[in-house]
């Protein structure tokens, strides 16, 4: 059995990845259970794994080198999948330093330990935000990424550069994955689809930044997991960057209409000015991932939103039952 270290493993994408790998692999899950959103949500994400003998949980922060080193000393690791990050293109007030600490210093710590312990496979989660504000889409991996418009994007781009250097200097097989707006069951509560669904369900107004014409390449979480798994298996070159998206753009106004249609509740929309850090469009050119990884996204936005709302309604029913 392979031994996978998954950082941020209790989060949205991490817990889905563990669910896919747990039956055939040993999982070392590292998560700091930060309070960026309710830590109990993350604990619920992994509760079904806790009694499995091939699942080891470490409550540790990747910014703490000594904590991380203990994990490496205690476990055989074949592959590192770094999903831990300080997230969001709109930074919280006075929290800007966290982006640098987690997304750069934390990545550096993992790379240093990969070098020290001879780990030859490393998957780094990056982001479509590294492309910045541009209109010449679809975005491909050869485009320059030297104009980030958010601190998050800047630190994600820096993480990619660190990965390239360590791959070149220390013979680590490295894959950086640029995720395009991932959604689906267990999505973080601060992300648009989840936040909108909760407010619409409560008959509260939602804030729509801009006129509703901004577009995103929304990618269903199971398609992202498919791409990660194929990246783990990829060994044809020592370093690659891949876009993982759906290659279809969805207007914000249409997304809102899908959510209220599936909830069968009319959204109350309050238009707000465009926010700093937001881009007007993201669109993935996935031809490289299709060619080299045989990556093939399957879930349309209509199917994905329906699946998310089904999950959302189930957890809402549980919350109501608890309160009764």
3-state secondary structure the chain: CEEEEEECCCCHHHHHHHHHHCCCEEEEEEECCCCCCCHHHHHHHHHHHCCCCCEEEEECCCCCHHHHHHHHHHCCCCEEEECCCCCCCCCCCCCHHHHHHHHHHHHHHHHHHHHHCCCCEEEEEEEHHHHCCCCCCCECCCCCCCCCCCHHHHHHHHHHHHHHHHHHHHCCEEEEEEECCEECCCCCCCCHHHHHHHHHHCCCCEEEECCCCCEECCEEHHHHHHHHHHHHHCCCCCEEEEEECCCCCEEHHHHHHHHHHHHCCCCCEEEECCCCCCCCECCECCHHHHHHHCCCCCCCHHHHHHHHHHHHHHHHHHHHHHHC
Q: What is the mean pLDDT of residues 63-69?
A: 98
Give the domain ranges of the chain: 2-180+220-244+285-298
**pLDDT of 135 above 60:** yes
Contact 293, 250 (CB under 8 A): no
Does CATH place domain 2-180+220-244+285-298 in 3.30.70.1560? no
User: For residues 194-211, b (16+ Cβ closer than 10 Å) or e, as one string?
Assistant: bebbebbbeeeebebeee
| Per-residue pLDDT at 320 | 39
**pLDDT of 181 above 70:** yes
Looking at every residue in the chain, the average pLDDT score rounds to: 94
The percent of residues in the chain predicted with pLDDT above 70, rounded, is: 95
CA distance 288 to 140: 8
The sign of the dihedral angle between the CA atoms of 17, 22, 28, 30 is positive
Of 24-28, 194-198, 208-212, 262-266, minimum mean pLDDT range? 208-212
Beta bridge partners of residue 174, listed in sequence order: 122, 239
Q: Which residues are catalytic?
A: 152
**pLDDT of 37 above 80:** yes
278-298 pLDDT, tens digit each:
788 999 999 999 999 999 999
238-255 pLDDT, tens digit each:
999 999 999 999 999 999
Q: What is the mean pLDDT of residues 245-268?
A: 96
**pLDDT of 322 above 50:** no
Position 137 confidence tier, pLDDT thresholds 50, 70, 90 = confident
């Amino acid at each position: 059995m392979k031994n996978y270290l998954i950082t941020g493993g209790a989060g949205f994408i991490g817990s889905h990845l563990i669910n896919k790998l747990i039956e055939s692999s040993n999982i070392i899950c590292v998560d700091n259970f930060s309070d960026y959103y309710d830590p109990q949500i993350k604990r619920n994400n992994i509760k079904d794994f806790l009694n499995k003998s091939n699942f080891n949980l470490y409550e540790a922060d990747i910014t703490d080198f000594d904590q991380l080193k203990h994990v490496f000393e205690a476990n055989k690791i074949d592959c590192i999948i770094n999903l831990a990050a300080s997230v969001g293109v709109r930074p919280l007030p006075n929290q800007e330093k966290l982006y640098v600490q987690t997304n750069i210093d934390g990545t550096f710590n993992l790379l240093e330990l990969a070098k020290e312990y001879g780990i030859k496979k490393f998957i780094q989660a990056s982001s479509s935000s590294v492309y910045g504000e541009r209109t010449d889409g679809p975005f491909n991996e050869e485009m320059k990424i030297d104009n980030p418009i958010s601190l998050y994007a800047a630190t994600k781009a820096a993480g990619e550069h660190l990965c390239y250097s360590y791959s070149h200097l220390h013979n680590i097989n490295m894959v950086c994955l640029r995720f395009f707006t991932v959604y689906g069951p267990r999505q973080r509560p601060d992300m648009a689809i989840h936040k909108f669904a909760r407010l619409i369900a409560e008959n509260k107004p939602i804030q729509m930044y801009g006129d509703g014409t901004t577009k995103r390449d929304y990618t269903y979480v199971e398609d992202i997991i498919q791409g990660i798994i194929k990246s783990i298996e990829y060994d044809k070159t020592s370093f690659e960057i891949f876009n993982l998206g759906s290659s279809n753009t969805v207007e914000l106004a249409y997304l809102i209409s899908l959510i209220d249609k599936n909830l069968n509740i009319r959204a109350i929309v309050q238009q707000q000015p465009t926010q700093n850090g937001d881009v007007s469009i993201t669109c993935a050119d996935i031809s490289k991932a299709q060619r080299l990884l045989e990556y093939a996204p399957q879930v349309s936005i209509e199917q994905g939103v329906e699946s998310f709302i089904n999950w959302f309604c189930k957890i809402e029913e549980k919350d109501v039952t608890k309160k009764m």
